[in-house]
Structure 1
Amino acid sequence: MRLFSRLVPRSVVSQITGIVAVSMLLGIGLTGSVLFLFFREPDARDGVVLSAPGIAKVTQIFQSAATPEEGDRILDIARRAGAGVIRAPAGFVAPPDGERTSILSSLIAYQLNTLWGIDARAAILPSDAGDGLVVRVDDHTILLFPTPNWAGLWPFVLKPTVLIIVTMIVFVLFLSIYAVRWIIAPLSALGAAAESFGRSPDDDRLVHRRGPREIGQVAGALNDMRTRIRALIDDRTRMLAAISHDLRTPLTRLRLRAERIRDPELRDGILHEVVRISGMLDETLEYLRPGTREEPMSPVDLSSLLQTICTEFGDVGHDVAYAGPPRLAWVCRPNAVARAVTNVVDNAVQHGSAVRVGLRVGDGGLAEIEVADDGPGIPAPLREKVFDPFFKGDDTRSAATGRGFGLGLSIARDVVRGHGGRIELLDRLPRGLLVRMSLPRNPSGVRPTI
């Protein structure tokens, strides 16, 4: 077994080359065996005439006969072997009719004239024998050979040809299927492992290093990459815990000390900066928190979730309204979706006076959540840039209010992408911005109900 495993090619190129070579050899071997066992040589019972080499050989042997009796015995032997040759005096056959002789007769006659130097021509044989060949032996004698038709060639030319083609196709097809499973199956496993790790970084299962050498190298590199990424995620988690503990405590002490300052203007300024630092810390931790993908998928009424968000903003004085179906059951991560929509609505109320939150089932069965405002909008060249963390352009929806740190849309995009969806920034006519978040159906096949 070890010797066999050592002989198996390791690279993809050598394996594919070996499979093709083996399939060709097996196909040729099987075809040869079938031809040898089941296909016999033609004999007189088949009534098949000779081809150009056979006609030339019979003619040459007949010309070597010393006496007419010996020539008759040679022709008799040829007829018993299957060649329907007839001896006739010169001038017995009419001149050839070019319109009625077959292409095969003309081709054989051309071969006899050019390759063997035998005077032969295509002609119509007497007694309705059909096409044939007239071969001049001498000035007084000719030989008449019936020309084989295409149907007569089937048992000895076309059938073996078809057999070879079918055999080769079968071998190549089955061995190709095996090769695809042998070579492509490890690649499919690699793709599934990469997709699983992309959706769930906590998945620490290693990929088996099987298959060709190149695929094994990719599997090993993927395992090493997953280990390093897992270590980076663990380091980030520990860093977040340290930031949460080490920074909140001094900020709390700073707030308490600032409240003791007697100068109102100085006290308010310090407290304002402390609040901004706390807000930036909270928003950064929210962005770095890995909880978006750790939350399990569960059914939720998207309509009720969006109405609750609109009500919360309306309770603090913002003009935020919901427009959509009264009920839409969907499977998603409810807390993550609520966080994403809240960030988008919060960004909209900062730059517009009226915000409308819409919901519908769009093309492809996607749940489309649309947040539209009447603010200044975002120029098209910067619509991808605004998703970058901490990006706030002066020319786009200016942060004159002093709220936000440029992480709201980044968090929203991560949430939507974590669901396998997409988020788009579109123009709202006549003025404003429309943010469309599209969430796909539940992968398990649960259909939404309206």
Structure 2
Amino acid sequence: MQACLPRTLLWKTFLLVALLLILALGSWSQIFRYFQEPARSRDVAQMVVSVVNLTRTALTNADAERRTDLLIELAALEGIRIYPAEASDELEPLRDTRPNRLLAADVRRQLGDHTRLASRWKSLEGFWVSFRLDPEDQHDEYWVMLPGERIENPDSLDWLIWGLGALVAAMLGAYLIASWMGKPLRQVARAARLVGSGQTPPPLDESGPQEIAVVAHAFNQMTGDLARTDADRALILAGVSHDLRTPLARLRLGVEMSGAPEGEVTAMVSDIEEMDRIIGQFLDFGRGVPQEPAQPEDVAQLVREITEPYRLRGIDLHLDAPQTLVNAVRALSLRRAVANLIDNALRYAGEDKRLDVSVGVVDGEVCIEVADRGPGIPENEVERMRHPFTRLEKARTNTKGAGLGLAIVERVMRSHGGRLDLLPREGGGLRAILCLPAGGNASARARMQTARQDGHEK
């Protein structure tokens, strides 16, 4: 049932207004009929009584031998048929409706309680009324049939057409009103999607109704505050990078020149490098959505350049990539994402196990896969691991890392309009796959994907 209901404000408002208009029109129609029916019944009853009285007078005053000619003339000129009543007459009463009850009551009140009304006499359909030439003589009774168009309301169809016309015009007006109300909201939604994708939208028009103007003003103010916050964040990040990494570099130099035993120096240098790596992850995550434009790049060559330093360090890394594979990507952020996946694999699988990296096109997507032989990620933990500052329970005792690696990768993929798949590897381990849209307008897809992801997170 919920799936059949409209979800947009435009259609919800339109259907609500349309329903109210239909109910109002139906209510007014019933009110009009309720008060119009008595007056209509009195007019019709007066017309029936007049016809019956004129017919009775004509038959009473006419010569007996000329009554037949009179009856033929009434039928031909006025459409009024007159037949003598018999005890064996087959009758069908009028339908039991309020107008018919009012009409019958008015006719009997003027012609007498002995008056009968029927919708069919023998096999003839029509409006039939009985009358007596002499009110005291029940054997001298006649039936008079009036044409149906004289009894029925000739304006009913006109009223229906005008009512439907008014309803259509009102519903058209309701649609225009709902559309007019929804237009500024759609502009706010588009601007919000741009903000969600890391862009600064143009200021919204603050004119129009007060409620809409207040929303537009608040949104513009929020956008300006966010822009200033981004500028402050960039300034803070630059200061953090300088104020923390510079002392770390001096500390490392001092440790290496301290003359301490080589094992202790190596351990301290490793800790300093880990601190520098954690600071780098905080900086990467704090930068937010990458702002660099998507440009055609040789993804295969880019991955080769990333993996080569690991091989030079003696890491058993196997790369399977085509000679060339060009696609629109943000090269700097994609390098960071691939490097984070490789670092995560080495951290949890160990540097003594083989690491497989592959690049290719799968189902119309450019895929970069990093597969390790580590402990992997349980299926019920996959979504949680995409969030910042999250580590597996078994890894909580290992203080290395800030739990931002996969969160950074997830954000980079959203900026590309792609996704990060975390799948179990046959034989044990984890397959981390970066799926990028192949060709097309990657920037536009990235904005839409970022907006959808931000909506889900909220």
TM over 0.5, shorter chain: yes
Aligned to 2:45: 56
TM-superposition CA deviations, 1:391-446 (whole Å, max 9, x none): 444514975xx864433212111101222333232222231112233333566389
How many residue pairs were aligned? Answer: 391
Tell me the distance in 2 between the aligned counterparts of 1:279 and 1:18. 57
1:198 equivalenced with 2:196 (yes/no): yes
Q: Percent identity?
A: 26
Deviation at 1:195, TM superposition (A): 0.6
Q: Which residue of structure 2 aligns with residue 231 of structure 1?
A: 228
What is the CA distance between 1:249 and its match in structure 2? 3.3
Is residue 328 of structure 2 the alignment partner of residue 340 of structure 1?
Answer: no
Q: Which amino acid aligns with 1:371?
A: V
Question: In 2, Cα distance between the equivalents of 1:108 and 1:71?
Answer: 32
CA distance in 2, matches of 1:445, 1:271: 41
* Corresponding residue number in structure 2 for 1:371: 370
Instruction: State the Cα distance separating 1:375 from its structure 2 match.
Output: 1.4
Specify the alignment match of 1:240 in structure 2.
237
Counterparts of 1:116 and 1:410 in 2: how far apart (Å)?
Answer: 88
CA change 1:404–1:220 in 2 (3 A) is same
Give 1:69 deviation, angstroms: 4.0
* Cα 1:417/1:17, change in 2 over 3 Å: closer
- SS of equivalent to 2:148: coil
2:95 and 2:84 mapped to 1: Cα distance?
A: 24
Out of 281, 284, 290, the position equivalent to 1:283 is 281
Q: How many angstroms apart in 2 are the aligned matches of 1:72 and 1:21?
A: 61
Aligned partner of residue 145 in structure 2, secondary structure: strand
Structure 2 residue identity aligned to 1:144: V
C-alpha separation in 2, matches of 1:257 and 1:312: 26
Q: Which residue, 130, 135, 142 being the options, matches 1:136? A: 130
Kindly indicate whether the alpha-carbon contact (under 8 Å) linking 1:340 and 1:415 is maintained by their aligned counterparts in 2.
Answer: yes
Q: For 1:264 and 1:329, how far apart are their aligned partners in 2? A: 49
Q: Distance in 2 between matches of 1:148 and 1:359?
A: 86
| TM-score, scaled relative to structure 1 | 0.70
Equivalent residues of 1:386, 1:409 under 8 A apart: yes
Task: Provide structure 1 residue ranges, at least 5 long, that are not aligned to the other structure.
Answer: 1-11, 29-50
Contact 2:14–2:175 (CA<8 Å) still a contact in 1? no
Measure, in 1, the Cα distance between the counterparts of 2:106 and 2:442: 74
- Find out whether 1:414 has 2:411 as its counterpart: yes
Alpha-carbon separation, structure 1, partners of 2:223 and 2:396: 39
Structure 1 position 153, deviation (Å): 7.2
SS of alignment partner, residue 207 of structure 1: coil
Q: Which residue identity is paired with 2:405?
A: G
CA distance in 2: counterparts of 1:361 and 1:158, whole angstroms: 67
> Which residue type is aligned with residue 148 of structure 2?
P
> What SS does the aligned partner of 1:95 have?
coil
Task: Determine if contact 2:419/2:434 at 8 Å carries over to the other structure.
Answer: yes
**AA paired with 2:46?**
K
Partner of 1:187: 185
Change in 2 beyond 3 A, CA 1:397/1:68: same
Q: Deviations over 1:282-335 (max 9, x none)?
A: 333233235x52111112233443344344433433333344666544322122
Q: 1:86 to 1:70 in 2, by over 3 A?
A: same
> How far apart in 2 are the matches of 1:125 and 1:390?
93
CA positional deviation for 1:183: 0.8
| Counterpart position of 2:328 | 331
- CA displacement, residues 136-194 of structure 1 (integer Å, 9 cap, x when unaligned): 12243434225638xx979743354134214422x134213322331111011000101
Given residue 128 of structure 2, which amino acid in structure 1 is its aligned partner? V
Question: What is the match of residue 164 of structure 1?
Answer: 163
**Alignment partner for residue 86 of structure 1, among 69, 81, 86?**
81
Distance change >3 Å, CA 208–CA 95, structure 1 → 2: same
Q: Alpha-carbon deviation of 1:104?
A: 6.5
Query: For structure 1, which segment, 247-256 or 61-70, has the greater mean C-alpha deviation from structure 2 after superposition?
Result: 61-70
- Report SS of the residue matched to 1:200: coil
Change (3 A) 1:230 1:442: farther
SS of residue in 2 equivalent to 1:285: helix
Change (3 A) 1:16 1:388: closer
Q: Distance in 1 between matches of 2:99 and 2:392?
A: 87
Mapped to 2, the partners of 1:370 and 1:260 lie a distance apart of 41
Match of 2:6 in 1: none
Other structure's SS at 1:294 match: coil
SS at match of 1:262: coil
Please tell me the root mean square deviation across aligned C-alpha atoms, in Å: 4.5
The aligned counterpart of 2:174 is: 176
Deviation at 1:346, TM superposition (A): 2.2
Question: Which secondary structure does the structure 2 equivalent of 1:374 belong to?
Answer: coil
Match of 2:261 in 1: 264
Partner residue in 2 for 1:96: 90
Query: In structure 2, the residue corresponding to 1:137 is in which secondary structure?
Result: strand
Closer, same or farther: CA 67–413 of 1 in aligned 2, 3 Å: closer
Classify the secondary structure of the residue corresponding to 1:395: helix
Helix, strand or coil for the counterpart of 1:228? helix
* Shift in Å, 1:133: 3.3
- Quote the offset at 1:259 in angstroms: 4.1
Aligned residue number for residue 122 of structure 1: 119
Q: Cα distance 1:112–1:426, how it changes in 2: closer, same or farther (>3 A)? A: same
Specify whether residues 87 and 124 from structure 1 end up closer, same or farther in structure 2 by C-alpha distance, changes over 3 A only.
closer
Change in CA separation of 1:259 and 1:396 when aligned onto 2, cut-off 3 Å: closer
1:222 offset after TM fit, Å?
2.0
Instruction: Specify whether residues 212 and 172 from structure 1 end up closer, same or farther in structure 2 by C-alpha distance, changes over 3 A only.
Output: same
Which structure 2 segments of 5+ residues have no match?
A: 1-9, 27-39, 63-69, 109-114, 133-137, 445-458
For residue 185 of structure 1, what is the amino acid of its counterpart? K
Residues 377-416 of structure 1 aligned to structure 2 (within 5 Å): 377-393=376-392, 395-396=394-395, 399=398, 404-416=401-413
What is the distance in 2 between the residues matched to 1:260 and 1:374? 37
How far off its partner does 1:105 sit? 11
Cα deviation, residue 198, structure 1: 1.4
C-alpha displacement of 1:58: 2.8
Matched residue type, 1:176: A
Partner in structure 1 of residue 453 of structure 2: none
Partner Cα distance (1:322, 1:23) in 2: 68
